[in-house]
Amino acid sequence: MQLKPYEDKYKNQVIALILYLQNYDNKVDLSLEEQPDMNAIPRYYFETGGNFWIVVNDEDLVVGTIGFLVKGKTGVLKKFFVHPDYRGRDKGVSTPLYDKLIETAKEKELDAIVLDTPANCHAAHRFYEKKGFVRIEKDDLPVQYDYPDRDSLLFLLEL
């Protein structure tokens, strides 16, 4: 497994993984058109002070992703997905992605990280709560940002 910054040569793999997990694993029913960031990762993430990382396996296939937007003193966690075959502590995918995001947020001296996740993704909710995130309402978001699934739950982690 190798954690690395996103490169355009992985674009199709990233899109395929995310759409598969959103629509078949999580049953959210989102299209690529509803997520313009996926066709413009460098512009959407890198050029605004954020980042986007991937984990590739030994065959150079994308098995995990995480995006990070910076909005003032707040980070926004986006597109945190791990292929089902690579989930779990012993797989070495989720933790390095998440740790890289937290490390970057602290380097940038951010005050908080926010995220949205579909209401039906209970395992994700437990993961974030174990990491110290607390559920908040839309009115409590310290920054505004787009998220396509309107049934999402919102979470905040104070740094």
- Cα dist from 37 to 42, 44, 108, whole Å: 9, 6, 22
Average pLDDT, the chain: 90
Q: Are strands 152-158 and 134-136 parallel, antiparallel or unpaired?
A: antiparallel
pLDDT at 101 exceeding the cut of 70: yes
d(CA 77, CA 74): 10
Question: Would you call 127 exposed, middle or buried from its count of C-beta atoms within 10 A (0-12, 13-18, 19+)?
Answer: middle
How many C-beta neighbours within 10 Å does residue 21 have? 18
Judge whether 96 and 55 are in contact, CB under 8 Å: yes
Domains and their CATH numbers in the chain:
2-158 (3.40.630.30)
Between residues 112 and 89, which one has the greater pLDDT? Answer: 112
Judge whether 63 and 86 are in contact, CB under 8 Å: yes
d(CA 20, CA 33): 15
Predicted structure pTM score = 0.90
pLDDT at 24 exceeding the cut of 80: no
Residue 65: which of 24, 33, 100, 39 has the closest Cα? 100
pLDDT band at 147 (very low <50, low <70, confident <90, very high): low
Question: End-to-end CA distance of the chain, in Å?
Answer: 28
Q: What is the pLDDT of residue 8?
A: 95
pLDDT digits (tens, 9 = 90+) for 40-50: 999 999 988 99
Judge whether 12 and 62 are in contact, CB under 8 Å: no
